[in-house]
Amino acid sequence: MRLAGLALDPRGRLTDDVVTPIAVRGSIAVEMVLRDGLTDVADSVELDASPTGFLPADRWVTDWVEAGGTLRDALVRPGVDQYDLRDEHVRAGSWTERPRRWVGRQPYVDHRRERTARDEELPQRFASLQDPRDAALLCIAWPLGLLGMPRTYPDEEQLEVTGPARWVVELTVDLVHRARIGGLLGAADTVGPG
C-alpha cells in the first residue's frame, strides 16, 4: 500500500506506467515473505495460498496458482497493479477522489500524506533503517523514480537490510530494470518467460 502512495504525482494522480505493476506485485511478494507465506527452498519457492485478507495479495496468489509458473512469471504476468492498491486505499478511506479539472487520470487526496512524506525521505534516512519493509520499499521504489530523486539501484548495504526478503527484492528490482530498458528500447517482451 505504501508503494501506491509514492506512485501519486504532485497533483495526486496515480502513475500509469507499465513498470510499476511489477513493483506492486514484488512488494506483495516481499510482504508474503516477511509473513512466512512465501519461502525460498532450494531451487523453488513454497507458497502458502491461504487467504491473507488483503484483496490484491489474495488475487495475485490466486492468479499465480491458476496460471502456474515461477515467481518470476507471477511478477511479470499482467494482473494485480497500482490500481488494485488504489482501490484498497479508497475502500479503507486513506485516499479520496478529488474532482477532475480536465480529462485525464483521476486525482486523489492521500490522507496518509505524512507517512508518504516519510517514505519519500527513505534515501536520507537509510543509515538508521532497521525494518526490512522500509528497506524493501526503498530498494523497489528508488529504481522507479518514486522517491523524488533520480532513479538509482540499491547497493549491497541497502539490500542487506531487507533481510529475509532480499531474494524477492533483488528479483523485483532486476525485473523492473529489464522492463524499463525494454520499454525504452521498444522491445515487445524483455521480461516475459524464457
Is the separation of the CB atoms in 2 and 31 below 8 Å?
no
Residue 112: predicted pLDDT: 94
Residue 193: predicted pLDDT: 41
pTM for the complete prediction?
0.89
Residue 18: predicted pLDDT: 86
Is the separation of the CB atoms in 120 and 147 below 8 Å?
yes
Confidence of residue 183 (pLDDT cuts 50, 70, 90): low
CA–CA separation, 26 and 28 (whole Å): 5
Q: What is the mean pLDDT of the chain?
A: 89
Residue 180: predicted pLDDT: 87
Mean of the pLDDT values across residues 114-122?
93
Residue 121 pLDDT greater than 60, yes or no: yes
Residue 182: predicted pLDDT: 82
Minimal CA–CA distance to 107: which of 17, 13, 15? 13
Residue 172 pLDDT greater than 50, yes or no: yes
Cα–Cα distances (Å) from 17 to 29, 58, 65, 93, 115, in that order, read: 20, 23, 26, 24, 23
Residue 103: predicted pLDDT: 67
Residue 127: predicted pLDDT: 86
Name the more confident of 191 and 108: 108
Residue 178: predicted pLDDT: 92
Instruction: Report the 3 state secondary structure along 70-110.
Output: CHHHHHHCCCCCHHHHHHHHHHHCCEEECCCCCCCCCEEEE
* Residue 167 parent element (H or E): helix 166-185
Is the separation of the CB atoms in 82 and 7 below 8 Å?
yes
Residue 51: predicted pLDDT: 93
Confidence of residue 115 (pLDDT cuts 50, 70, 90): very high
Is the separation of the CB atoms in 90 and 1 below 8 Å?
no
